[in-house]
Amino acid sequence: MVGLRREAEVLAAALAGGCHVVLEGPPGTGKSTLLRAVAAGAGRGVEFVEGNAELTPARLIGHHDPALVLEAGYRPDTFVDGPLLTAVREGALLYIEELNRVPEETLNVLVGVLAEGEIHVPRLGRVPAGAQFRLIAAMNPFDAVGTARVSQAISDRMCRIAIGYQDAAAERAIVERLTGLDDARAVELARASREHPQVWMGASVRGAIDLVRLERELAALRGGADDGTFADAAIAALSGRLRLEEGCEKTPEAIVMELIAGLGKASAPRRGAPSRPAAPGNR
């Protein structure tokens, strides 16, 4: 992990103390990475679920196999466990991404297991949760596009850890780790996109990572890097990530060019630039 030490400690303590946790923050702030790091450090298994409007109760809990039901009827061995039931039986961590994009009907099935430590499944019966079962959920801020408020019945049973963007030094370290280049200008540009008055949501550090990779490959194709190469890479890497304020008459491309002009023309010096990215685990 780069940064997020306090958040990692609070998450580890919550899991050890028997708490369920929601990690709340904008995209690209390391919520999934944080959970994986803490789970790996504790030697815990994780069941991952992608939260979206198509996540039904049956997809989360599991279902009876129709072919087996026709042969043998509704029996425990005809039931195919979903990620929730797998985590409950094994006492594992259940990680749900984008919790506030999940339909309320599906979220309601979580209330019983959070409150009572067990789940009741029709035609299967009561399934008690293992002692180490925990629900870890991640969600974007409520006002992000496509999100809804999570009910108080869920919120009241979970601790909340707010995760914001890391500081510039941490983001530069992340970019260097994943690209092999220490490019301060790319990080500065991504960070500046979050402060533009006409940008509702700017680029995360992922934008800076893609910018560095694109600029390197464009420079290789063109036989060298210049301001035009940086601009082309920046527009491709960042423009699709910007969410502009309603009523803004500028295009994302124009915003990116405006941000570049505000950086000045001098690129920050780069250290140890290999021809290909260094492996993440080698630093």
The predicted-structure confidence for 253-282, as pLDDT tens digits, reads as follows 999 999 999 985 444 443 333 333 334 443
Q: Quick one: residue 3, left, alpha or beta (phi over 0 = left, psi -120 to 50 = alpha)?
A: left
DSSP annotation of 76 reads G
Helix axes 184-193, 168-179, angle to 10 degrees: 130
Q: What is the pLDDT of residue 235?
A: 97
Q: Can you give the pLDDT at residue 145?
A: 54
**Which residues, listed in sequence order, are joined to residue 50 by a DSSP beta bridge?**
97
Report CA dihedral (266, 270, 274, 277) to the nearest 10 degrees: -90
- % of the chain beyond a pLDDT of 90: 60
Task: Give me the chain's average pLDDT, please.
Answer: 87
- Give the tens place of pLDDT for each residue, 39-55: 888 888 899 999 988 99
d(CA 230, CA 186): 9
Q: Give counts: helices (H), strands (E), the chain.
A: 12, 11
Looking at the predicted structure, is the pLDDT value of residue 188 above 90? yes
Per-residue pLDDT for 73 more than 60? yes
Residue 106 CB neighbour total at 10 angstroms: 21
The predicted pLDDT at position 42 comes to: 82
Q: d(Cα 23, Cα 34) in Å, to the nearest integer?
A: 9
Which residues, in sequence order, are bridge partners of residue 23? 138, 161
pLDDT in tens, 147-179: 667 888 999 999 999 998 989 999 999 999 999
Residue pair 98/140 in contact (Cβ under 8 Å)? The answer is yes
What contacts 257, CB < 8 A, 6 or more positions away? Answer: 231, 235
> What type of residue sits at position 281?
G
pLDDT band at 142 (very low <50, low <70, confident <90, very high): low
At residue 174, the pLDDT reads: 93
Span 175-192, average pLDDT: 95
Find residue 162's DSSP bridge partners. 24
Assigned token pair, 189:
């540009």
Residue 82 clears pLDDT 90, i.e. is over it: yes
- Would you state the pLDDT for residue 265? 46
* Residues forming beta bridges with residue 137, ordered by sequence position: 22, 96
What pLDDT shows up at residue 158? 94
Q: What is the pLDDT of residues 107-133, one digit of tens each?
A: 999 998 998 899 999 888 899 999 999
Q: Which of the residue ranges 19-28, 184-193, 213-222, 271-280 would you say has the lowest mean pLDDT?
A: 271-280
Predicted confidence at residue 77, as pLDDT, reads: 85
Residue 75, pLDDT score: 87
